[in-house]
Amino acid sequence: MSSYASDEGRGQHAKGFPPARTAGTSVKVFTNTPADYRQLVALLESIKRPFFTYQLKEDRMDQRVIRGLPREMSVNDIKEDLVSQGIADAEVQQMTSRTTKKPLPLFLVKTKMPEKLAEIQRLAMLTVSFERKKKSSEPSQCYRCQRYGHTQRNCRLAERCVKCGEDHNSTSCSLPAPPTGQRNAKCCLCGEGHPANYKGCSKAPKKAASAPKAVPTTNRTSYAQKAKKPMSTSAPAAATATGTTAQKQHGDDRLLAMMQAIITPGTSTDSGHGNQKSRRY
């Protein structure tokens, strides 16, 4: 980072300074190495410069859902049990329903040791299973600044309330939660009268419309329906080639012979070279 600072005021593209480009009213800076990334984050935090970033791949924690524990299980007890079994960096939280917001008998554990986690079969004397957390199809939204595209963990922007839109933490807001406070809510993204996490907000990212799938067409006519269709008595249409006319006539002869066999019990048909033969069993 010292090399960045020494090259910063040269007025030209400084050698060694990370590449950067404008993005609206902000500037995006791209570091070359994880060490440069950590130094840049530390510098911005030391000068209290508002920014947001993304987590390094090496710092990302694997997420697993624990099944088999009761809803009333303490998060601290689960973490202590995981630590005692070798998962020292375990972070545990209870999952809630998206609709009712009530706690579920599911617990999310984050760790950098998923291989060791897979060896655990029991927690609190109960048999459990660990499943990989499914990725959400919804765009990520920061719980700190309410903007889309990053998460609260890596955000150092000013706090904005999800309910009233003011510059304070959402948990300390005196506005009642929806639907009671719906009429007084104000979105900090668009200024309309709804919470900032409203999916119908004009500033919310829109999902790309998928192309309509072609529906294959199949003939669903049953054999019974085909048998009910009246048999045509008209002469076959004339063809441009005599060979085609002969083949069409030959096909009609075979069809007539087959129909005769169906109508007359105890007979079968044997057609060859256009000649019809009938024999009695």
pLDDT tens digits for range 63-103:
999 999 999 999 999 999 999 999 999 999 999 998 888 99
* Domain of residue 153, residue span: 136-202
Answer yes or no: is 230 within a domain.
Answer: no
**Are the CB atoms for 85 and 130 separated by under 8 Å?**
no
Check pLDDT > 50 for residue 246: no
- The pLDDT tens digits for 145-181 are 999 999 999 999 999 999 999 999 988 898 876 555 4
Q: How much is the pLDDT for 82?
A: 96
Largest CA distance in the chain: 109
33 shares its domain with 85:
no
Dihedral of CA atoms 41, 47, 48, 54 in degrees, nearest 10, equals -10
CA angle 91, 96, 102 (to 5 degrees): 135
Domain membership of residue 223 (yes or no) is: no
Closest CA to 273 of 238, 234, 246, 244: 246
Mean pLDDT for the chain overall: 78
Decide: 104 and 71 in contact? Cβ < 8 Å: yes
Domain assignment present for 229: no
One domain, residues 159 and 114: no
User: Is 146 within a domain?
Assistant: yes
Q: Is residue 232 part of a domain?
A: no
Q: Among residues 233, 237, 238, which one has the least CA distance to residue 255? A: 233
- Residue percentage of the chain with pLDDT more than 70: 65
65 and 121 inside one domain = yes
8 Å CB contact between 130 and 84: no
Choosing from 175, 202, 229, the residue where a domain stops is 202
Residue 206: the pLDDT is 83
Claim to verify: residue 88 and residue 151 sit in the same structural domain: no
Query: Domain check: are 75 and 114 in the same one?
Result: yes
Residue 253 pLDDT class (50, 70, 90 cuts): low
Rounded CA separation 136/91 (Å)? 20
pLDDT digits (tens, 9 = 90+) for 35-55: 999 999 999 999 999 999 998
Banded pLDDT at 243 (limits 50, 70, 90): very low
The number of distinct structural domains making up the chain is: 4
- Cβ pair 253, 245 in contact under 8 A: no
Q: Label residues 246-276 b or e (16+ Cβ within 10 Å = b).
A: eeeeeeeeeeebeeeeeeeeeeebebeeeee
> Is 157 part of any domain?
yes
Cα 92 → chain centroid: 24
Q: Are 58 and 97 in contact (CB under 8 A)?
A: no
pLDDT of 23 reads 85
Would you say residue 7 has pLDDT above 60? no
Are 128 and 64 found together in one domain?
A: yes
